Amino acid sequence: MKNQKLRTFLLETLDQEIVPFVSDDIAATKEFSDSVLDRFENPYLNHQLTSILLNSVSKWRARDLPSFREYYEKNGCIPPHMTKGFAYLVELYKQARKGETGYVSVLPGREIPLVDDLCYLTYFANGGTVASFMADETAWGEDLTRYEGFLHQVEAYLEVLEGGGSLL
């Protein structure tokens, strides 16, 4: 991984907000997180962004939400890195548009293909708000706005992203 800011962000997210909450076997979980980083840093593996982004809403619910929830319960606050990651996810879906071959997220200088349930891909284009998206129990299995400060911070991060800034 050539981008040092992204590498640091990923390491801190794994070490501080995910690994401690995935399993009681911290050593095995840490070993797994190290292998994830090794795969991302392997220049011979072609990481397809479209594969990584496939069904992002359900992936976040299944993979990230449990660690997010446990972090919140243990620390009494939202996990800062996972909150930034969630804001990036929301921004991708806010920019989703129907392209020639399917849905894409329209970002400065490029379009990124998105594959997910149609209701998520069209949510913001159909007038949905960030608050209602986060409160959608069908998508997340619970109302994410119940986590104190989460909605406010995501909306603040979205302002930065929509202004052309970075959260890293």
The per-residue DSSP string of 35-76 comes to HHHHHHH-TTS---HHHHHTTHHHHIIIIIHHHHHHHHHHHS
Residue 1, burial from CB neighbour count under 10 angstroms (0-12, 13-18, 19+):
middle
Q: Could you state, in chain order, the average pLDDT of each consecutive group of 10 residues for the chain (168 residues)?
A: 81 86 76 74 59 81 95 98 97 91 85 89 92 96 98 99 94
| Per-residue model confidence (pLDDT) at position 48 | 56
Instruction: State pTM to two decimals.
Output: 0.85
Close Cβ partners of 50 (under 8 Å, ≥ 6 residues apart)? 112, 113, 115
Give the rounded distance of the alpha carbon of 22 from its chain centre. 17
